[in-house]
Amino acid sequence: MNLDAILKQNEEALVNSVCEILKIRSVQENPLPGMPFGKGVADALNYVLKLAESFGLRTRNLDNFVGWAEWGEGEEMIGVLVHLDVVPEGSNWTYPPYGGEIHAGKIYGRGASDNKGPAIAALYALKALKDADIKFKRRVRIIFGTNEESGMECIKYYLKHDEMPTMGFSPDAEYPIINGEKGILTFSLKSKFNDMKNSLILKGGERANMVPDYAECCMDYYEGLERDLEKFIKKTGFPLELVHSNDKVIIKSFGVSAHGSLPEKGQNAIARLVSFLYEIGAGSDEQKKFIKFINEKIGFETNGKSLGIDFSDDISGKLTLNLGVIKLNEEEAKAVINIRYPISFKGEDIIEKIKQNLIEGIYVDDIKNSPPHYVPEDSPIVKALKDAYEKVTGEKAYCFTIGGGTYARMMKNTVAFGPAFPGKPEVAHEKDEYIEIEDLIKNFRIYAYVLKELAS
């Protein structure tokens, strides 16, 4: 049976497997014995490894940090880097975020596009090549990470305990070929408080790399608060709500989630609430100072201009900034910021510029920096992917740079390749995340033929 027929034969099973793995809530949680990122993530890894074993592929589980499925022979190895962990589901889904339901030709669920759908498609592509008895001169190894959304510790563990691919790609972004990824800088702006008078409690956001869709504040009630809120809502159109709770009030702020690398696509619930709190002068004197700083130096900006870091370059474009998490109480405050900075800049220089724009009592802490990643267009992997993509799709391949971070940045000679097709909406990290079945199958075919070109 030829490869085309085998691919067609596997389409229904591929769709079913994607639906099944989407039912596993693989959000990172507190570690358990033998499960460094919690049970859900370990369950997802074990699901795919059992599936790979049922296909007759060689597998390995590296202590539930990471696992792989492999086929072929040879000294050189093509790596396909995917991840099974997902960001939290957020709220207001039309369909269950862990239902794996199909509606109007789309599979809905957290991780459908980022990155479980593409991961399962890559696994089925390797199965199809095996079943077609394609002779490999290089091995193909699909590496299943479990901590991509929260630090990529899984791949660091892999690199300490296993083999670096000769070259590879990560189907965790867009087509055609992403040979550059901006630097990723995550840090906290913090402040300590001593003044307990008129203090409030503010919290919002779940992850630094998600635009927060909810934030809330608990504060003392004052005469005229409802009037002030109504006036603010009328002026801004922001969906804020007030709920009485004994002698306190809860003010709720709603936004729209988006990927932290595309903060301009979301509507930041934290920024909306901070804007209102600043306007009414809420909080103790020290809290007011922190709220004022966040409102004036970050606010609704997504380019870092007021912090003096609105940098850009010709290779990768503009810096982006996301205010992802905030926690403020009687004793301290913390705002967690996620920045994607251009390839020609350094993370330490950006932090230094931010420090120059801080005020007394606010400081930078918890700095994590992942430097930019760039693979030249004339490298063997880029040339090979260009040729294979054009053969499979009949469309011209080209390279570009993104603000998102993929596993490609962790490996040599590795780029991001798919799964989103040009012109399609970005749904990763958003409510009602989905993958179109038509696109899933198209990816399945592309991976199969690309791997055939790279490995045989």
40-97 tens-digit pLDDT: 999 999 999 999 999 999 999 999 999 999 999 999 999 999 999 999 998 899 999 9
Count of Cβ atoms closer than 10 Å to residue 329 Cβ = 15
Residue 16 tokens, joined: 């079913």
Question: In this structure, are 202 and 340 located in the same domain?
Answer: yes
Residue 333's pLDDT band (boundaries 50, 70, 90)? Answer: very high
Contacts of 271 (CB under 8 A, 6+ apart): 255, 295, 298, 299, 300, 323
Catalytic residue numbers, as ranges: 85, 148
Q: Measuring CA to CA, which residue among 253, 254, 263 is closest to residue 209?
A: 263
As a whole number, mean pLDDT of residues 386-412 equals: 89
Residue type, 248: K
What pLDDT is attached to residue 246? 80
Question: In this structure, are 345 and 379 located in the same domain?
Answer: no
On whether the CB atoms of residues 132 and 6 are closer than 8 A, the answer is yes
Question: In this structure, are 207 and 140 located in the same domain?
Answer: no
On whether the CB atoms of residues 24 and 43 are closer than 8 A, the answer is yes
Axis-axis angle for helices 3-21, 39-54 (nearest 10): 160
For 199, half-sphere exposure in the C-beta direction (CA atoms, 13 angstrom radius) is 14
Domain of 322, in residue numbers: 183-370
What pLDDT is attached to residue 278? 97
Question: In this structure, are 391 and 330 located in the same domain?
Answer: no
From 370, 404, 428, the end of a domain falls on 370
Give the whole-angstrom CA distance, residue 68 versus residue 52: 9
From 370, 393, 424, the end of a domain falls on 370
Burial group, residue 306, by CB count within 10 angstroms (0-12, 13-18, 19+): middle
Question: In this structure, are 248 and 336 located in the same domain?
Answer: yes
Give the phi and the psi of residue 216 in degrees, each rounded to 5. -145, 160
Give the torsion sign (CA, 114, 115, 118, 120): negative
CA distances from 75 to 43, 151, 410 (A): 31, 30, 21
Count of Cβ atoms closer than 10 Å to residue 364 Cβ = 15
CATH number at residue 224: 3.30.70.360
Alpha helices in 237-368 (DSSP H): 269-280, 285-297, 347-356
What pLDDT is attached to residue 404? 83
Question: In this structure, are 366 and 409 located in the same domain?
Answer: no
Tell me which residue has tokens 């399962």: 120
Pairing between strand 77-83 and 139-145? parallel
Three-state DSSP class for residue 332:
strand
As a whole number, mean pLDDT of residues 407-435 equals: 93
The answer to whether residue 113 scores a pLDDT higher than 90 is: yes
Give the whole-angstrom CA distance, residue 276 versus residue 221: 15
Residue 165 DSSP code = P
Q: Which residues of 386-422 are buried (b: 16+ CB within 10 A; e: fewer)?
A: bebbeebbeeebebebbbbbbbbbbbebbbbbbbbbe
Give the whole-angstrom CA distance, residue 194 versus residue 333: 12
Question: Tens digits of per-residue pLDDT, 348-382?
Answer: 999 999 999 999 999 999 999 999 999 999 998 99
What pLDDT is attached to residue 247? 82
Question: In this structure, are 241 and 357 located in the same domain?
Answer: yes
Question: Tens digits of per-residue pLDDT, 180-236?
Answer: 999 999 999 999 998 778 789 999 999 999 999 999 999 999 999 999 999 999 999
The model carries a pTM of 0.79
Question: In this structure, are 364 and 442 located in the same domain?
Answer: no
Strand partners, 312: 318
Question: In this structure, are 159 and 218 located in the same domain?
Answer: no
Question: In this structure, are 119 and 18 located in the same domain?
Answer: yes
Count of Cβ atoms closer than 10 Å to residue 9 Cβ = 12
From 370, 392, 420, the end of a domain falls on 370
As a whole number, mean pLDDT of residues 331-349 equals: 96
CATH number at residue 177: 3.40.630.10
The answer to whether residue 287 scores a pLDDT higher than 90 is: yes
Question: In this structure, are 382 and 285 located in the same domain?
Answer: no
Residue type, 419: P
Mean per-residue pLDDT of the chain: 95
Residue 129 DSSP code = H
Contacts of 231 (CB under 8 A, 6+ apart): none
Contacts of 331 (CB under 8 A, 6+ apart): 192, 193
Give the whole-angstrom CA distance, residue 441 versus residue 104: 15
Question: In this structure, are 102 and 189 located in the same domain?
Answer: no
The answer to whether residue 121 scores a pLDDT higher than 90 is: yes
Domain tally, the chain: 2
The answer to whether residue 452 scores a pLDDT higher than 90 is: yes
